[in-house]
Structure 1
């Protein structure tokens, strides 16, 4: 089977909204200042090194693609949002084997079994159709290759944050699943059943020490994180609900925070998973 035809996408309007959402703010600042260690953790788990041909799906600004290339692999970073890819190009610099391609995780522009490893760091979890994305991850990985993902858990900090934000938004379009479900062992096991062999999972946390106080976290995400910015824009003209969301996001950070000499630190939980690809589906 070859790569899917470039036929019109019936979800084009939804995808365009996703592009615009992730182009808001400065996701590079979120990835680079708040969670800079996550991509390297995924690369280590995937066992990526010299000679590997790697695809980073929903790569954003290259949080995993750049350390994969630094480990000696030849890497392709694919993302739906060109603004994120451009920011990644600029931060990666020269001297690494890294290609940036605009593309949809639900319809990857590559032939079956192309890559030795297919990875995604808090990226593919945000696609609307989880089953289509999961099938694509498997399809483009060579038989015996590695599929490795790092996703926020529903019970962790980011899962809680999305639960809060969801209550301030209209209902999502039919068929759109909640992103943190990719961090549930049971859910992702069923999602990848028949697509990836020998799936192993482990939960871990990343310690975030970027913020001085809970309100600092809230204001940083209001100014830089596309999904949070989108929720606030949807509340434009409703000061009471805006103030309520302010309180809930600050309260979330306060519940998770530990004081430090420089401010606060929080542990954000994620699920790390790895399996063996079956190749084209």
Structure 2
């Protein structure tokens, strides 16, 4: 991505991918379903001197023309759209033939990928046909979604060491206040203090089980992700 490239960041959140793309000189649109995240992203972009456009949009029904972008990206974003085939179809539709699609998603077997299983017993029923977010971290699942509509695929699993949390409880509190899926579940439990306490215990517990640190004042966790890139088929 560079000067002159038309870039769409789908489910952009606060702009962790859109802002660097804009700073590299690309013409960037950050799209997200949550206006609150877009507003936070606006503030962060202003602080870093990044110029980009923001658009409230559903990843399953993007309000852009066919082939409108040279590059379509999503960093831990589109994976949370409940209907994977619909979201994948939109990524392809708005990318021009020969353009690039780049996705970063938590893997099913990694730390964050296992969190939905921890939260699911407390969550309201999923929409009909909804699929689990971490499936986007399985390269075979992504290939099945995109099929022969892409070429030149590259898929690699990587890990990032996360050391910012002092305790499992600090990790839990951060996620319950800032992580969209966790926020939604806690809101659904607003009148059930016992289940809130149980979920608190389970979220802290998953962090404690995945800590490989020394126990001397901070957690060290390895979070695994899939980095997937491909080009939109010319035809």
**When the two structures are superposed, what TM-score results if normalisation uses the length of structure 1?**
0.78
Residue in structure 2 matched with residue 99 of structure 1 by the alignment: 53
CA contact (8 A) 1:232 1:242 kept: yes
Q: Does 2:10 align with 1:57?
A: yes
Match of 2:97, SS?
strand
Q: Does 2:33 align with 1:80?
A: yes
Once the two structures are TM-superposed, the CA of residue 170 in structure 1 deviates from its matched residue by 2.8
Once the two structures are TM-superposed, the CA of residue 95 in structure 1 deviates from its matched residue by 4.1
Task: Give me the CA root mean square deviation.
Answer: 1.7
Q: Pick the aligned partner of 1:257 from 205, 211, 214.
A: 211
2-structure distance, mates of 1:183, 1:58:
16
Q: For residues 232-247 of structure 1, what are the structure 2 equivalents within 5 Å?
A: 232-247=186-201
Q: Pick the aligned partner of 2:42 from 81, 89, 92.
A: 89
Q: How many residues align?
A: 233
1:131-178 C-alpha deviation (Å, 9 max, x unpaired): 111011111111111000001111111111111101212321211111
Structure 1 residues not aligned, in runs of 5+? 1-47
CA contact (8 A) 1:138 1:278 kept: no
1:63-120 C-alpha deviation (Å, 9 max, x unpaired): 1000111112111111111111111111101743411111121111111111111000
CA contact (8 A) 1:140 1:279 kept: no
Q: Does 2:21 align with 1:68?
A: yes
Once the two structures are TM-superposed, the CA of residue 239 in structure 1 deviates from its matched residue by 3.4
Q: Pick the aligned partner of 1:277 from 201, 217, 232.
A: 232
Structure 2 residues not aligned, in runs of 5+? none
Q: Pick the aligned partner of 1:228 from 178, 182, 192.
A: 182
**When the two structures are superposed, what TM-score results if normalisation uses the length of structure 2?**
0.93
